[in-house]
Amino acid sequence: AQKVTQAQTEISVVEKEDVTLDCVYETRDTTYYLFWYKQPPSGELVFLIRRNSFDEQNEISGRYSWNFQKSTSSFNFTITASQVVDSAVYFCALRWAGGGNKLTFGTGTQLKVEL
Amino acid sequence: AAGVIQSPRHLIKEKRETATLKCYPIPRHDTVYWYQQGPGQDPQFLISFYEKMQSDKGSIPDRFSAQQFSDYHSELNMSSLELGDSALYFCASSPRQGLEGTQYFGPGTRLTVL
C-alpha cells in the first residue's frame, strides 16, 4: 500500500530555533516523487520542493533543507532559525508511477513558531 | 508569476442545492486536478483532466461531476449538496501529466453547506 506518515501532529518552537518535520513513506514502486507543501493559516497550499526516487541528493534553499533517505523511506524537512511566518501546516505528499495522477498526502504537521 | 485562479473563494449553500466551482489553470498548463480538504484533514484527490479528457478519478461522489473546457479552465459541479460536503476545494494545475509534473494549487474555494 502507498502511504505517507507524518507522526508529528503539532510542533511548537520559539523563534530562531531549528525544527525538523518528519515524513515516512511507503510504496512498492521504484519510481515515485515526493513533495512538501505548506498551508499557512490563510489556507492556500504552497509548493516547496519535489524530489524523485532516483535523486537522493539533499538540498538547501535559504533556511530550508531537505534530507531524503531511501534506506529509511524518509523525506525530512528542516527549517533553521525559524520565524513566526513559518507557522503553518506542512504536508508531505507522494506520487508514484502506478498511482495515476493523484498526490497522496500525509496528515500534516502543524508548526507553531512563537516569539 | 501567474497562479491558479479559483472562483468563488467562498460559497454558502443550503442542503440539496447545487454548486459550481471554477478553476483557471496557470497559462500553458494542460492538466487540472481537483482535491477536497475537510476540516483538519489532508487534501483528498477527486478527479483530474488532461487536454480536456478525464485522466484519473479518485474518491469523487456520483453527485459531483467535472469537465475541462477548450481554454483549459475546469468546473466542478456539485449537486444535492450534503452537510458533509462542507470543505475547502482546491484546484491544481501542472505543465504536464507525467509523474514529474508538479501540481501548483490555487487558493481554494471554501464551501459551507447549511
With beta carbons less than 8 A apart as the criterion, state whether B50 and B43 touch: no
* Residues A50, B102: C-beta atoms closer than 8 Å: yes
User: What is the predicted pLDDT for the residue at B27?
Assistant: 93
Cβ–Cβ below 8 Å for B58 and A95: no
Q: Which residues in chain B touch residue A103, judged by CB atoms under 8 angstroms apart?
A: 33, 35, 43, 45, 103
Select from B88, B99, B105 the Cβ nearest to the Cβ of A33. B99
Burial B83-107 (b: 16+ CB within 10 A, else e): eebbbbbbbbbbbebebebbbbbbb
| Of A33, A105, A106, Cβ closest to residue B100 | A33
CB contact under 8 A, A95 and B99: yes
Q: In this predicted structure, what is the pLDDT of residue B9? A: 97
Give the tens place of pLDDT for each residue, A19-69.
Answer: 999 999 999 999 999 999 999 999 999 999 999 999 888 888 899 999 999
pLDDT digits (tens, 9 = 90+) for A66-115: 999 999 999 999 999 999 999 999 999 999 888 787 899 999 999 999 99
What the block records as the C-alpha cell of B84 is: 458533509
Q: How many CB pairs under 8 A join A and B?
A: 62
Q: Is B74:B90 a contact under the CB 8 Å cutoff?
A: no
What's residue B96's pLDDT? 72
